[in-house]
A and B are shown apart, each in its own frame.
Chain A
């Protein structure tokens, strides 16, 4: 096996329900501020989902103002989210301030489902209440600007390559809720084996649209609670009622260690291990004992050459669904054994909601910040402990603690799992 290159993180960028800045996000997370709000858009009135982690109107406008041409040409919110977070991470890393090898710098993006609009069917319903395909064929250019037919999932990654001259490997991952971690993990691998010197990796998603608002309700996975929005996402709590959608994007600039050192980049942390697995169990539910998540965590530890005792913190997938939170807890206990009781475990989703395909991306950024700052954000709303979820979820508020290394989990619908480990960087 060839020697593997070390991979470090040198830039971070975010746009989430908690804001557009990394520091802003971190301060609010530590303070336990929720970004979940009542849905205010006209097209959401009466929806089975009452609240979501919306990017605020002001932050959305900031993203539009930063990319005026793309704001006109691109049909999806996630594209502008991706551009904003990508630009922020590049700016943070100061990569473009010196010469860089464009063909050694790539992009890895997690992308979601894309948007399906009822109007794209309704417009071509004929007098017999059937979809008139020939007329659709003649008039297809009238499809909705947000339509999946106009927005390929690999378009944002290509746009980032074009805007920022990153001409190396360019890939788009679509593994549902595991996508964000898999995009970052795939970027990590590309640098490790020498296929790239730099990868801008992350995810962007938004399903806060009419089909998205019924998507998880149909599957029985969404919280329909009409309680105070700030309280409805309750990972690991006995009264949890399902996932709450969020939207936004997160990016990290991953860089080969020598490349970063030569250009004098500030290094946040080192990416030390990554693992993926398949449940091969059911597409409608995770393995009840979390066998898939257990396997992905074990693989990440083996990949990093680390003992479970070296991990101090887990940024959990923690969706606030009945099935996930128990399965993930069971998996953590299986991997970490007695050390599981000493770990801090928290769910960012309790505050920003579930960013779906992108979820692992901002959660990776937060995991890096935990390692950098020796601090862990809380899981908010955990007030009624579930006996089956019996780990330390940092329910009482932020905690200052030594975080030598941390692991972030993502678990996708269908049974795809991904875990990634970051640790403090030492030469």
Chain B
């Protein structure tokens, strides 16, 4: 079943370790730059020799966010706000005459970790001779936690702050927490447009903030590199938001676009050890996306792979690719992770931003293997969670 009517990308915005905007990120990619550095902001030495792709210089003040609102916003909130504002602006939604009720919003968002300092005073007051004494905590220590702190722990509150900022009141959902959740958000956005439940939809995702807690989570799952020479993934910070619209309505208002979302597929079959999806699920997602886009494997010019650097996930994806494409030697494969790390829920939308640039400029940046395509028309984006979920999105050049 094809996606009909055609859903096009009329704007995009992003934040990554190598660029505060999509064009900055693209320029850095072309220059072969990467944002992966030793973890900064706290002493991560206890975990190992850890690297990450962290975003700098993004503050509530820079974004003009009122301190009252910023009180419950952490870096993930600021990244989402920045990417969403960029996409909204790039699509010209402010002057499009589209009511807030007709603008949808679907995003993938990561787990939210507390800032230790936000609850440390309450913890200290709760300490008794045998450790945490919940009697002391309830007797008043908990009042040392800011009364709005609970809201900062809900990832959808950040999402709602963006909706307030941009006046978005339409169809919506938040999915969580890994790369596949960002792809589900894009699929739901496409669905809302195809069924005419929205005139324009912002969709994409945001990563987690790199913190001692998020690193502990990654190490627990045994996916993170503990040292540069070890296998594993490198976490990145970032956000990417796309503005999607039906082609006909984009044409009516004179919006510009160069790519369409042509297909998607979603599957879930975890390996028994919980480290990656099975190859059959990854192949299933690719196969469904190809069928929906009415494309054959030979029509795909570039695959932006998930390839997070973990042994099992890479093996599963390779086997999945092999079963769909047969001979992989002539398949141009690209990965954004060497440049800006694993952006989790932001990864698929960020990869679509990169795919759009590839299609528009006819260039594959220098981190690739295989032969360059003569022309980039169809780009497949793969993403997965080590819990077992996986997804594929195909974007296509439109004349």
Known contacts A158-B268, A173-B174; A186 and B181 CB within 8 A of each other: no
Residue-by-residue, is A159-177 near B (CB-CB < 8 Å gives 1, otherwise 0)? 1011000111111111110
Q: Which one of A29-37, A209-217, A324-332, A359-367 is at the interface?
A: A209-217
Query: Are B168 and A278 in contact, CB atoms less than 8 angstroms apart?
Result: yes
- In the bound complex, residues from chain A placing their C-beta under 8 Å from that of B145 are 214, 218
Which residues 204-227 of B sit at the A interface, judged by CB distance below 8 A?
Answer: 212-213, 215-217, 219-221
- For chain B, the count of residues having a C-beta within 8 Å of the partner chain is 96
Query: Are A125 and B170 in contact, CB atoms less than 8 angstroms apart?
Result: no
Other-chain contact of B147, A169, A172, A218 (Cβ < 8 Å): A218
Other-chain contact of B172, A47, A140, A276 (Cβ < 8 Å): A276
Known contacts A152-B177, A175-B174, A219-B151; A414 and B157 CB within 8 A of each other: yes
Query: Are A137 and B212 in contact, CB atoms less than 8 angstroms apart?
Result: yes
Does chain B have a CB within 8 A of A1? yes
Other-chain contact of A131, B109, B120, B168 (Cβ < 8 Å): B120
Query: Are A167 and B181 in contact, CB atoms less than 8 angstroms apart?
Result: no
Residue-by-residue, is B40-67 near A (CB-CB < 8 Å gives 1, otherwise 0)? 0011111110000000000000000000
Query: Are A292 and B169 in contact, CB atoms less than 8 angstroms apart?
Result: yes
Query: Are A170 and B388 in contact, CB atoms less than 8 angstroms apart?
Result: yes
| Bound-state Cα–Cα, A107 to B387, Å | 13
| Bound-state Cα–Cα, A118 to B123, Å | 6
Known contacts A154-B385, A276-B171, A280-B100; A122 and B268 CB within 8 A of each other: no
Other-chain contact of A168, B215, B268, B270 (Cβ < 8 Å): B268
Best-surrounded residue of A113, A166, A174, A217 (most CB of chain B within 10 A): A174
| Bound-state Cα–Cα, A130 to B270, Å | 39
Query: Are A167 and B45 in contact, CB atoms less than 8 angstroms apart?
Result: no
Q: Which residue of B lies closest to A217 (CB)?
A: B142
Does chain B have a CB within 8 A of A279? yes
Q: Which residue of B lies closest to A155 (CB)?
A: B387
Q: Which residue of A lies closest to B167 (CB)?
A: A280
| Bound-state Cα–Cα, A215 to B154, Å | 11
| Bound-state Cα–Cα, A103 to B113, Å | 33
Query: Are B1 and A2 in contact, CB atoms less than 8 angstroms apart?
Result: yes
Nearest CB on B from A273, distance (A): 11
Query: Are A414 and B168 in contact, CB atoms less than 8 angstroms apart?
Result: no
Which residues 257-289 of A sit at the B interface, judged by CB distance below 8 A?
Answer: 275-284
Does chain A have a CB within 8 A of B175? yes
| Bound-state Cα–Cα, A191 to B146, Å | 43
Nearest CB on B from A185, distance (A): 8
Does chain B have a CB within 8 A of A189? yes
Nearest CB on A from B81, distance (A): 13
Does chain A have a CB within 8 A of B196? yes
| Bound-state Cα–Cα, A107 to B153, Å | 25
Query: Are A282 and B113 in contact, CB atoms less than 8 angstroms apart?
Result: no
Interface size class of A (residues with CB under 8 A): 35 or more
Query: Are A277 and B156 in contact, CB atoms less than 8 angstroms apart?
Result: no
| Bound-state Cα–Cα, A299 to B171, Å | 9
Residue-by-residue, is A300-336 near B (CB-CB < 8 Å gives 1, otherwise 0)? 0001000000000000000000000000000000000
Nearest CB on A from B184, distance (A): 5
- In the bound complex, residues from chain A placing their C-beta under 8 Å from that of B154 are 113, 174, 176, 413-414
Nearest CB on A from B33, distance (A): 28
Query: Are B176 and A278 in contact, CB atoms less than 8 angstroms apart?
Result: no
- In the bound complex, residues from chain A placing their C-beta under 8 Å from that of B268 are 106-107, 157-158, 161, 166-170
| Bound-state Cα–Cα, A415 to B167, Å | 12
Other-chain contact of B270, A148, A161, A169 (Cβ < 8 Å): A161
Query: Are B172 and A48 in contact, CB atoms less than 8 angstroms apart?
Result: no
Nearest CB on A from B288, distance (A): 8
| Bound-state Cα–Cα, A1 to B4, Å | 7
Does chain A have a CB within 8 A of B150? yes
Other-chain contact of A46, B114, B139, B173 (Cβ < 8 Å): B139
Nearest CB on B from A172, distance (A): 5
Which residues 401-423 of A sit at the B interface, judged by CB distance below 8 A?
Answer: 412-416
Q: Which residue of A lies closest to B188 (CB)?
A: A186
- In the bound complex, residues from chain B placing their C-beta under 8 Å from that of A220 are 147
Query: Are B266 and A195 in contact, CB atoms less than 8 angstroms apart?
Result: yes
Does chain A have a CB within 8 A of B399? no
By Cβ-Cβ distance, the 8 closest A-B pairs, closest first, are A137-B46, A170-B268, A414-B160, A134-B46, A158-B387, A137-B47, A169-B266, A46-B138
User: Would you mind naming 7 contact pairs between A and B with Cβ atoms under 8 Å apart?
Assistant: A121-B123, A122-B132, A143-B216, A171-B180, A186-B188, A277-B171, A283-B157
* B-binding residues in A (CB < 8 A): 1-2, 4, 43-48, 102-103, 106-107, 111, 113-114, 116, 118-119, 121-123, 125, 129-131, 133-141, 143, 148-150, 152-155, 157-159, 161-162, 166-176, 178, 182, 186, 189, 193-195, 210, 213-220, 275-284, 292, 295, 299, 303, 412-416
